[in-house]
Structure 1
Amino acid sequence: MIEAMIEAVGDDGVMMVAGLLVGLLFGAAAQHSRFCLRASIVETAHSQLGAKLAIWLLAFTSAVMFVQIAILADILDVSGARQLSAVGSMSGAIVGGLMFGVGMILARGCASRLLILSATGNLRALVTGLVLTLVAQASLRGALSPLRESIGGLWLIDGGETRNLLTVLGLDTIAVVGLAGVVMMGALWLAVVRKVRWSHALGAVLVGFAVSLGWGLTYQIAQVSFEPIAIQSVTFTGPSTDTLMAFVNQSAVVYDFGIGLVPGVFVGAAMMALLTGEFEIQRFGPEVKMERYLLGAVLMGFGAMLAGGCAVGAGMTGGSIFAITAWVAVFSMWMGGLAMVYWSERCVPLVITFRR
């Protein structure tokens, strides 16, 4: 089937279709489940192990389980993925992750959450997401790229086994699937205790499945293509910049996985919001400090490019294949977010509040 599609629309066209399908699933599932790392961090900072944390854990462990089961079944090989094979930056993962975590709290959502909220009519998220994307582009190829390269070059690690956390820890795939299963059962128990709706829990699992689907589809395309295809999965900062630049700075759009992913997520989230009656136009108002959102967008845009991806791209997608820099990045995002909530609510409570 994939071979026939490649003959009909070419390698790039098939990759775009794969991105679109994954994006539709991710967008609809993330919108319905309220999947959000920022909300989980705020909840944890308030010493609450609640519904939002349960949703995030279900999504994360599902991504790990589905990907590792596919590897165990010999239908997926991620050794050639950029997150494992290329040189990685530990300094970038740490500094970028901390910056992203702080920015995520200020902007009330990570890159994926802002995209999904934009699709539900949230104009604050739309403006914040555009600023994030522009800063990310400047960090990747523009005026901020020398600073990013300087910080990222402070501590580099080689690709291959050095960057594979499983190799470093001496764990095999079977053990990882077992551990992920235990954590997932714990997340399900927490979801039941906190009275999470079953459809929201299912949506969280589908968010994780979408990550594994991205890896699986791109791997299968790479196996039958005559051209070299980079296997990849869900991430937002890089694809968002590519999508924006494709439509504002290029006369012809070059199709790839990201060009399908970003519109797919937007459409999937919008359709789910319309079906559930949750679509609502939301604007900046006197009680909503725009400067807080813009500062958060700047920190996330630069931080994501430094860390090698956003909360989903570096965290879940890279984490599901156990890239050591991805786990360091997502841990740093948690630490940055927790520190920001603690500092703002205990030191300057009148300036910024974060409860929904």
Structure 2
Amino acid sequence: MDLSLLLDRYGEPAILASGGLLIGLTFGAFAQQSRFCLRAAAIEFVAGAPGAKLAIWLLAFGAALAGTQLLALMDLAQLSEARQIASPQSLSGAALGGLMFGAGMVLARGCASRLLVLSATGNLRALLSGLVFAVVAQASLRGSLRPLREYLAAGFTSNEIGGNDLLAFSGASVEWAIAFALAWIAAGIFFTWRASLSPWRALAAIVTGLAIPLAWWFTASMATQAFDPVQVEGVTFTGPSADTLMLILSPPGGALDFDVGLVPGVFLGSAIAALIAREWHLVGFHDGPSMRRYLAGAALMGFGGMLAGGCAVGAGITGASVFALTAWVTLSAIWLSAGVTHYVIDGERARKSTQTPAQATP
């Protein structure tokens, strides 16, 4: 991909932000149409009733893995330069942060990316929760919560086991990784058929997942052609949400980069898709307890996502697509915590609602 003319004319920051905006538009529009949501998939799985929501997540996850590994096979992206592989990562942070994020995801009824998508469709609950998520993420990155995050993250790092590359540890080839990814897609197709999911939503889920390798490819292309160093990265929302918030609050003239373009792009893509489909409408909180639940969940996700080094998309899909060990630890912790939290909180409520008056506790 020859970007030299665009770089000479508009400069590296503008091109990076524009690329992030376009990739965000793609992710946001198709995530909104597919109803992509890890929380919903985890709840279906825990309930023992796998259906359309699990199928959507499996298709997006498999597409992200397959697309990313195809880039590596074709030498179109230097995935070894990705932050998750090239720099030391915290295994203790991945486990603890994933557990916190999974619990918060259930409490807030959506992960960071889902809150961003929903807020663009008029969901005021998601909008306020997303703001709390970004504030806590920023406090965890550079503010008052930073010492606690660094203390927890220092417990056990990938340096102590010789790196963070699962493929290197196992000696597996890129071809094996692609076959592994295709197995996830096959599972998604099976559950798509079983749940009678519409072809459009299945396709939208796949395109949502393909936004991750698209981001890897674009930033890798920029890294080889830009004069200044460019981080090879995929799609994530914890750090970018915090950076976007600070860009809005700080004086004009802040630095532009891929992450700063990504978050507004997802918001715009989701809003446009919702307006075209006539799915945009205002939604608010039902009562005080529900508001406390959402905000507590958003705060847990903000700190947990920063501690884990990524959110349900940033670690759970983007990091997993390059087979970073900490990303798979985070993803497993998110699924486990989400399942337990749903069973303890929402499952208990559902069981009480099905009791007869004679069975109910006075």
If the length of structure 1 is used for normalisation, what is the TM-score? 0.96
> Paired residue for 1:132?
133
Aligned-partner Cα distance in 2 for 1:183–1:126:
32
* Distance change >3 Å, CA 352–CA 76, structure 1 → 2: farther
- Contact 2:88 / 2:163 at 8 angstroms: preserved in 1? no
* Distance change >3 Å, CA 346–CA 15, structure 1 → 2: closer
Aligned-partner Cα distance in 2 for 1:292–1:56:
25
Instruction: Determine helix, strand or coil for the equivalent of 1:88.
Output: coil
- Contact 2:78 / 2:232 at 8 angstroms: preserved in 1? no
> Paired residue for 2:343?
342
Shift of residue 77 of structure 1? Answer: 1.4
**Structure 1, residues 6-56: CA drift from partner, whole Å, max 9, x if none?**
001111111111101100000001000000000011111211111100000
Instruction: Determine helix, strand or coil for the equivalent of 2:79.
Output: coil
Aligned-partner Cα distance in 2 for 1:146–1:119:
33
Shift of residue 190 of structure 1? Answer: 1.1
Shift of residue 347 of structure 1? Answer: 4.8
Where structure 1 has 5 or more consecutive residues not aligned to the other structure, the ranges are none
Q: Within 5 Å, give how 1:44-59 maps onto structure 2.
A: 44-59=45-60
> Paired residue for 2:184?
183
Aligned-partner Cα distance in 1 for 2:13–2:161:
27
Where structure 2 has 5 or more consecutive residues not aligned to the other structure, the ranges are 355-362
Aligned-partner Cα distance in 1 for 2:350–2:168:
44
Number of aligned residue pairs: give it: 353
- Contact 1:344 / 1:352 at 8 angstroms: preserved in 2? no
* Distance change >3 Å, CA 229–CA 351, structure 1 → 2: farther
Shift of residue 249 of structure 1? Answer: 1.9
Shift of residue 161 of structure 1? Answer: 6.4
Aligned-partner Cα distance in 1 for 2:52–2:307:
30
Aligned-partner Cα distance in 1 for 2:160–2:13:
26
* Amino acid aligned to 2:249: V
The answer on 1:93 being equivalent to 2:55 is no
Aligned-partner Cα distance in 2 for 1:44–1:99:
19
> Paired residue for 2:212?
211
> Paired residue for 2:29?
28
Shift of residue 75 of structure 1? Answer: 1.3
Aligned-partner Cα distance in 1 for 2:254–2:135:
18
Aligned-partner Cα distance in 2 for 1:346–1:23:
34
- Contact 1:128 / 1:294 at 8 angstroms: preserved in 2? yes
> Paired residue for 1:292?
293
Q: What is the root-mean-square deviation of aligned Cα atoms in Å? A: 1.8
If the length of structure 2 is used for normalisation, what is the TM-score? 0.94
Shift of residue 147 of structure 1? Answer: 0.6
Moved more, 124-133 or 244-253: 244-253
Aligned-partner Cα distance in 2 for 1:327–1:196:
27
> Paired residue for 1:230?
231
* Distance change >3 Å, CA 346–CA 115, structure 1 → 2: closer
Aligned-partner Cα distance in 1 for 2:346–2:127:
26
> Paired residue for 2:280?
279
The answer on 1:172 being equivalent to 2:177 is no
* Amino acid aligned to 2:268: V
